[in-house]
A and B are shown apart, each in its own frame.
Chain A
C-alpha cells in the first residue's frame, strides 16, 4: 500500500477503538463482538440490526452495544466497518494518530508511522495479527480450550463464508472489487469519510490487498483453515491477548500513549488504565477496566522513558472485557516480591559482608530467641531487633553461618540442625537496610 491516496488511517472499530489491518477483519470483529446477539449468538451487521433482531426474535431490548467502550455504545448509530463513523470521532482519531506518529518519530527513528502504509505496521499495531510473521501460524491458532474441549472459537465464529462472500482467506487472487460489500474499502482515500455511499474501492484496492499478505499471513494461504483463522484475532478470547501484543515489543512508542490516552479521554471519557506505556502504538487501549488491584502500584510507573531503564516497563492492559490479575510492572512476581523489605534483610550485600559476618554470631543468640516465639506475621513492624544489617533473624540455629561472601566453598556447610519439628522460621524482623534491590 504505497499510495497516499488510500485512506491514511487503518481501519478501526468505533465501538472499542481497536485498530485493524484490514477492513474486512474490522467487520468480522464488529460482527463477532459488537453485533452478536447474546441470546442466540446470531451475528448481525449493524448495531440497529442487532437491536431490531433482539426485539423481534427474542422480544428483548438492548440499550447498548456489547463490548463497547463507554460513550460508544449507541445502538442507533448505523456503523458498519468504517462507514457511519461520526465525523467528529473520525477527526479525533486522526488527531490521536498524528500525535502518536509524531511521538514515534521523535523517539524511535526506525519505527514506522502507524498511519503509513507498510506492512511493518503489522509488527506493531494490528491487533489482528499476531505479529511475528515468523510465527503466524500460532496466531491463527488460538483455539481456546473450553470445558468441552471444543474449538469454541470455531463454533462461535460461525461467520465465515455464509455472510461473507469476500472472505479474507480467499483474499489472494480474489478481485478486490467485491460488489455489494460496502465496507470493504481499505482503499478509501484519506480524508474521505466513508459515510454512506459505497466508495468504489477503486484502484486502491488491488494494491491494497496483495500488499497485505506479508503482514497478514493468516489471510493468505489458509484456505484449509477453519474460518476461525481470520476471525481468530477478533474473537473474544483472542482479544485479550491482542492488546497485549505491544506488551513486550521493545519498540518505543510508549510515549505515544500518554497523549493518546489524554486524547481518548476527551473523546470518550473512559478512565485510562495504568499501563499505557509499553511498546507499540496502540492508541486505542484506554480501556477502562483498570482494577484497583492491578492499578495500585504501577500507576506511577506508567509512561516510562522509551528505553526501559530503571523503571520496569509496564504491561498493557486489556480491553474492557478482561483484566490481568498481575501487577503492571513487567517484572516477574518473584522479582517483585524479592524487592520487598521483608525479603531483603537476609541477603548479604557486597559492601557489608564484614558487618554481616560480625553480626552473625550475635544473631545466633537472637535466633534462639526467635525460635521460641511462634510464627508472627512479619508484617508486624513492632518487632525490631537491634541486630543491624542483614542478619535480623537468620535461620535459627545457624550461628556459625558465614552469611557474607560465599568464599568457603565446600566447607561452609552451614550445619543445620537436622530437623526442626515446628515451623520455626517465621519471623524475620523488618529490614534495616533501605529497600534496595539485591
Chain B
C-alpha cells in the first residue's frame, strides 16, 4: 500500500501552525497523517483485530475523547465515530471479535463502546484513574482487565457492576499487556508482575526489574508457536529490556538495549535520554517498534539483536504506536507527553505509515 503520499488534510489542531510545510519536522517520514486527530495528546492507539474486515484505528486522547477511524487500503483515513469520557482517556482496547471497544480513563471509569450501535456503557469503576485496559478471552471465560493507579488490578464481566476479581498490586499500575494466557503488569517503583490467566487470573510471579528506571511501557512477545514467552519493557531512561519468562539461559537470553537517546556514540556532548513511550510487536515478524519522547520511532529485531530502522525526528514526542492486525500498517501518534517540564499545548496527530517491508526484516 502506497502510503507515502503527501500529507492528507490536517485535523484542526489547536495551534494550527502546521499548514503546508515543506521541511516538515511534523511528519518527516512523509507518512499519511490521519484526518481529524484529537485536540490534545493521544495516549493510546489500537487497531482492530483480524476478526473484523478492514482496519479500524481507535485512538484515545487527553481531550477526553476516543475516536475511531477507518484506514483504507490506499492509506487514507476516514473518521468514523467518537465517544467521550469525563476525563482523559488513557488506554483503549478491542474485544476479540472487533465489535466492542473498551476505554479506560482518568475519570476512574472504563467503558464499553459498542460500535454497531455507537453506544457506550460503563463497565468498570476504580478508586483512581484507570491506566490500562485489556480484553481477555479465555476458553472458559472472558473479561476486561483494568489496571489503575489505585494499585488494584480488576477483572470485569461487562454485565456486572462488580468486578469478578480484584488483585492487589504493590504499586500503581503504569502499563500492562495481555496475550492469553499471560499478562504482565509493570507498576511504579519498578515493580513487575506476571499473571497467568488460565482458569482464572492469578499472580504468577513477581520479577525483579531488569531496568533501573521507572517503567513506562510493556509489550508481550510470542515465540514461534505463538505462545507468549516474554515481554519487552521500556523505561523512561531510553532503554528497553527483553525478558523471557522461562528462558533456558537467562543470563544470555535476557538483555537490555538503549534507544531514544540523542547523539549516539558521540560522548563529547551530553546525551539526552528520552523515555520510551510505547512498544509494539509486529504480529507477523515478531520485530518490535519503540517510540519515544525524542520524537522518533525505531524498529528492532530482538532475536538478531539489531536495530532495523530509526525514523527521522518528529517535532513532538511520539506517545503511542500500534501495528494493525496483519502488520502492514504502523500507526504512531505524535503529541506532547509532558516529558519536558514546560507545558506546551499542542494538538496531537496520528500518523500511519507502511510497516517496514518484510525484506527489511532479518529473519
Residues of A bordering B, CB below 8 Å: 38, 66-67, 130, 132, 134-138, 140-147, 149, 152, 236-237, 240-242, 244-245, 247-248, 250, 289, 293-294, 296-297, 315, 318, 320-327, 330-338, 340, 343, 346-348, 374-379, 390, 394-395, 398, 401, 403, 406, 409-416, 418-423, 425-426, 428, 438
Contact = CB atoms under 8 A, between A and B. Distances in A.
B88 A338 contact: yes
A366 B108 CA distance: 24
B84 A425 contact: yes
B267 A66 contact: yes
B212 A426 contact: no
Contacts of B189: 248, 250, 330
B257 interface: yes
A332 B188 contact: yes
B80 A426 contact: no
B305 A332 contact: no
25 contacts: A137-B250, A141-B252, A141-B254, A144-B257, A145-B307, A248-B214, A296-B342, A320-B270, A324-B237, A326-B275, A332-B174, A332-B214, A333-B339, A334-B43, A334-B131, A337-B338, A375-B12, A398-B84, A401-B86, A406-B108, A406-B125, A413-B119, A418-B81, A419-B79, A419-B80
Contact of A395 (B12, B43, B65, B241): B65
B296 interface: no
Nearest to A334: B90
B274 interface: yes
Contacts of B310: 147
A326 B128 CA distance: 23
B275 A379 contact: no
B261 interface: yes
Contact of A377 (B15, B37, B38, B237): B15
Contacts of A347: 86-87, 106-108, 129
Interface in B310-347: 310, 337-343, 345, 347
A322 B273 contact: yes
Contacts of A420: 82
Contacts of A346: 64, 86-87, 107
A324 B236 contact: yes
B271 A145 contact: no
A317 B82 CA distance: 41
A324 B149 CA distance: 24
B227 interface: no
Contact of B107 (A152, A241, A348, A413): A348
A426 B64 CA distance: 9
Nearest to B239: A241
Q: Which secondary structure characterizes the binding site on chain A?
A: loop
Contacts of A331: 188
Interface in B257-294: 257-259, 261, 264-265, 267-268, 270-275, 293-294
A77 to B, nearest CB: 21
Nearest to B13: A375
Contacts of A240: 237-238, 258, 271, 273
A244 B38 CA distance: 35
B94 interface: no
Nearest to A419: B81
B161 to A, nearest CB: 4
B196 interface: no
Contacts of B338: 327, 333, 336-337
Contacts of B11: 423
B106 A338 contact: yes
A289 B304 CA distance: 35
Contact of B161 (A293, A409, A421, A438): A409
B62 interface: yes
A137 B275 contact: no
**Which 3 A-B pairs rank lowest in CB-CB distance, beginning with the nearest?**
A137-B251, A149-B306, A395-B84
A375 B347 contact: yes
Given A326-B236, A376-B14, A413-B119, A425 B106 contact: no
Interface string B51-73: 00000000000111100000000
B38 A423 contact: yes
A330 to B, nearest CB: 6
Contact of A293 (B172, B257, B342): B342
B271 A323 contact: yes
A321 B261 CA distance: 12
Given A333-B339, A410-B159, A419 B82 contact: yes
Contact of B120 (A343, A413, A421): A413
Contacts of B131: 334
B167 interface: no
B229 interface: no
A418 B304 contact: no
B172 A335 contact: yes
B12 A374 contact: yes
Given A149-B305, A149-B306, A347-B86, A144 B272 contact: no
Nearest to A289: B270
B181 interface: no
B272 A315 contact: no
B40 interface: yes
B99 interface: no
Given A138-B255, A143-B255, A410-B159, A395 B86 contact: yes
A330 B39 contact: no
Given A248-B212, A416-B118, A326 B12 contact: no
A326 B276 CA distance: 11
B339 to A, nearest CB: 5
A130 B212 contact: yes
B39 A375 contact: yes
Contacts of A144: 257-258
B200 interface: no
B232 to A, nearest CB: 12
Contact of B121 (A294, A390, A410): A410
Given A346-B87, A425-B64, A147 B264 contact: yes
A125 to B, nearest CB: 14
A117 to B, nearest CB: 24
A149 B122 contact: no
A122 B174 CA distance: 28
A411 B272 CA distance: 49
Given A348-B107, A416-B84, A423-B11, A438 B241 contact: no
User: Which of B80, B190, B212 has most A Cβ within 10 Å?
Assistant: B212
